């Protein structure tokens, strides 16, 4: 049976992991390759490396990081952040990334998704969506008709690391992105992110039901029950988390043990008991 | 004298992870797009990602089609990965093009109603003994990412099956050829065991 995936996410700034991982007895827990290898050994099903470096000049550092991660890790990993052109995509894939994720660049240039998917295959193109609940009324439609917010919209897409509202409906954009060729959707709830009070289950379920490709839920994990909720009530195919793993609140094995005991299919790895 | 172990490079996806996995188990693979080097190799790995129809076009454009066929027909150790399995059949429904035709059968789209690609870790039930598939616990998990699957006519070729809407062929084994739909290079220790077995097998004679 296809199992649900548990995916730790590493934020990388100028080649170093942001948000310390001090509890781990690692040689250099700020080194993305060391940390990625650690999570591989721990039984993570996949990894996401998000380049949050502000300057484009520092992009070469990330290529080198990806190369070093690929040397040590024998599970799939996705690289995102700042990829703007098919050439950026090609460099990351050649450096050893299995998938790349497009966020702002996909919003600004949807053809980038289409061209990249055609050239490299749908399976390696992830569209990342930062979504925020629509609070009061609907702003004038600024987006293309098919993805614009309407009266029924519940979540708006934000670009530029969550700083800019786009006028796009998150569910419609997810559907459109997969029509363009995205093979997976990485969905982050901006409302839930950072609060550790659980994923936005309504958002996750709405997107999971709207698209025919896998959906990774992101933002809000604070407990193992939150992971279960995202995968069951939220109908996500994978759950991404950062803090609960990085700060040692839970190990990957504990997460998988909990999920397995609650009937969620997971890949049993070292230390998982059912 | 030919190279020991070559990975066929026909510009269809990234080979780095396959190289690293082979190196991790002690091999020293060469990457080549030279048909003669493929013909002369002692053992050959055929990887492949993306779409089967464009992979077939790329293989032909690189003039590697006949070299790959010859290697297989000569009975040398051969490992196909992902598209490296699908390409072995007669025909793919992905773009409706002919493939290498080593084995009768078609490459079919996964049935509707499921999330496609079939992406993630799923179990492989081994149904046929082969040295390359040894020392792997029954029903181990491997990493899959594909939208089409190989459906060989001769069911005796099938070495492993996986369920995703249908029970499909996750691996074939025939003589000294093994090919997998999943990615052993992305499947942690179980996957590395397949490369370890293949490298050991390729050294036997």
Structure tokens that stand for B9 in this block: 């490079």
Which residues of chain B neighbour A237 with C-beta distances below 8 Å?
115, 119-120
Neighbour tally for B109: CB within 10 Å: 12
Does position A239 have pLDDT exceeding 60, yes or no? yes
User: In this predicted structure, what is the pLDDT of residue A113?
Assistant: 97
Q: Please confirm, yes or no, whether B82 is among the known catalytic residues.
A: yes
Q: Looking at the partner chain, which of B116, B145, B185 has a beta carbon nearest the beta carbon of A74?
A: B185
Q: Looking at the partner chain, which of A95, A122, A213 has a beta carbon nearest the beta carbon of B115?
A: A213
Structure tokens that stand for A83 in this block: 């990829």
Query: pLDDT, tens digit, for every residue of B112-166?
Result: 999 999 999 999 999 999 999 999 999 999 999 999 999 999 999 999 999 999 9
CB A77 within 8 A of CB A95: no
Give domain A5-261's CATH superfamily: Aldolase class I (3.20.20.70)
Q: How many helices (H) and strands (E) does chain A have?
A: 10, 11
Neighbour tally for B111: CB within 10 Å: 12
- Alpha-helical (H) ranges within chain A are 32-42, 59-72, 86-95, 104-108, 110-120, 170-180, 201-210, 224-231, 243-246, 252-261
Cα B38–chain centre separation: 16
Chain A residues within 8 angstroms (CB to CB) of chain B: 1-5, 40, 45, 70-71, 74-76, 93-98, 120-124, 183-184, 212-214, 237-238, 267-269
Query: pLDDT, tens digit, for every residue of B173-183?
Result: 999 999 999 99
Residue A143 pLDDT level (bands cut at 50, 70, 90): confident
Query: pLDDT, tens digit, for every residue of A96-105?
Result: 999 999 999 9
Cβ of B191 within 8 Å of Cβ of A76? The answer is no
Query: pLDDT, tens digit, for every residue of B67-104?
Result: 999 999 999 999 999 999 999 999 999 999 999 999 99
Which residues of chain A neighbour B14 with C-beta distances below 8 Å?
93-94, 96-98
Cβ of B141 within 8 Å of Cβ of A98? The answer is no
- Cα angle A211-A213-A214, degrees, rounded to a multiple of 5: 110
Count Cβ atoms within 10 A of the Cβ of residue B59 and give its class: 0-12 exposed, 13-18 middle, 19 or more buried.
buried
Instruction: Please name the residue of chain B whose CA is at the shortest distance from the CA of residue A270.
Output: B189
Q: Looking at the partner chain, which of A1, A123, A213 has a beta carbon nearest the beta carbon of B49?
A: A123
Which residues of chain A neighbour B124 with C-beta distances below 8 Å?
none
The ranges assigned to domains in chain A are 5-261
User: In this predicted structure, what is the pLDDT of residue B50?
Assistant: 83
ipTM: 0.93
Interface size between A and B, measured as CB pairs under 8 A: 96
**B120-157 per-residue burial string, b: 16 or more CB within 10 A, e: under 16:** bbbbbebbeebebbeebeeebbbbbbbbbbbbbeeeeb
- Cα angle B90-B91-B96, degrees, rounded to a multiple of 5: 165
- Structural domains of chain B in order of their starting residue, each with its CATH number: 5-203 (3.40.50.880)
User: How close A193 comes to chain B (CA, Å)?
Assistant: 24
β-strand partners of A158: A130, A165
Element (H or E) spanning B66, and its range? helix B65-73
* Active-site choice (A40, A98, A130, A237): A130
């Amino acid at each position: 049976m296809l199992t649900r995936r548990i995916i730790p996410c590493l934020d990388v700034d100028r080649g170093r992991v942001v948000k310390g991982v001090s509890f781990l007895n690692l040689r250099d827990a700020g080194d993305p390759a060391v940390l990625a290898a650690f999570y591989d050994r721990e039984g993570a099903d996949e990894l996401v490396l998000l380049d949050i470096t502000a300057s484009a000049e520092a992009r070469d550092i990330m290529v080198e990081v990806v190369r070093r991660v690929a040397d040590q890790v024998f599970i799939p990993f996705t690289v995102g952040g700042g990829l703007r052109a098919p050439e950026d995509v090609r460099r990351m894939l050649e450096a050893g990334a299995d998938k790349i994720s497009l966020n702002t660049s996909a919003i600004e240039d949807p053809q980038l998704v289409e061209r990249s998917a055609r050239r490299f295959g749908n399976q390696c193109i992830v569209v990342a969506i930062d979504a925020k609940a629509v609070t009061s009324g609907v702003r004038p439609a600024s987006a293309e008709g098919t993805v614009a917010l309407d009266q029924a919209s519940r979540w708006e897409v934000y670009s530029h690391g969550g700083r800019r509202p786009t006028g796009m409906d998150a569910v419609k954009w997810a559907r459109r992105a997969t029509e363009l060729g995205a093979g997976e959707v990485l969905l982050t709830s901006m409302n839930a992110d950072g609060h550790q009070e659980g994923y936005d289950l309504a958002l996750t379920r709405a997107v999971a039901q709207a698209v025919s490709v896998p959906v990774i839920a992101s933002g809000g994990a604070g407990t193992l029950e939150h992971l279960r909720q995202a995968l069951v009530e939220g109908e996500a195919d994978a759950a991404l988390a950062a803090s609960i793993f990085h700060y040692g609140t839970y190990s990957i094995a504990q997460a998988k043990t909990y999920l397995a005991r609650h009937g969620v299919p997971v890949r049993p790895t070292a230390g998982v008991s059912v | 004298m030919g190279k020991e172990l070559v990975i066929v490079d026909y510009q269809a996806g990234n080979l780095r992870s396959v190289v690293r996995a082979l190196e991790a188990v002690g091999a020293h693979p060469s990457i080549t797009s030279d048909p003669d080097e493929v013909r002369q190799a002692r053992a050959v790995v055929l990887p492949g990602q993306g779409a089967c129809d464009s992979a077939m076009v790329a293989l032909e454009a690189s003039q590697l089609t006949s070299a790959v066929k010859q290697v297989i027909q000569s009975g040398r150790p051969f490992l196909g990965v992902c598209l490296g399995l699908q390409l072995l059949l007669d025909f793919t429904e992905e773009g409706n093009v002919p493939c290498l035709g080593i084995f009768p059968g078609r490459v079919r789209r996964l049935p509707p109603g499921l999330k496609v690609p079939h992406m993630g870790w799923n179990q492989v039930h081994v149904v046929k003994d082969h040295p390359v598939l040894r020392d792997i616990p029954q029903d181990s998990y491997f990493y899959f990412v594909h939208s089409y699957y190989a459906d060989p006519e001769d069911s005796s070729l099938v070495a492993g099956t996986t369920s995703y809407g249908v029970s499909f062929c996750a691996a074939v084994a025939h003589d000294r050829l093994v090919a997998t739909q999943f990615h052993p290079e992305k499947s942690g220790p179980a996957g590395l065991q397949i490369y370890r077995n293949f490298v050991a097998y390729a050294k036997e004679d």
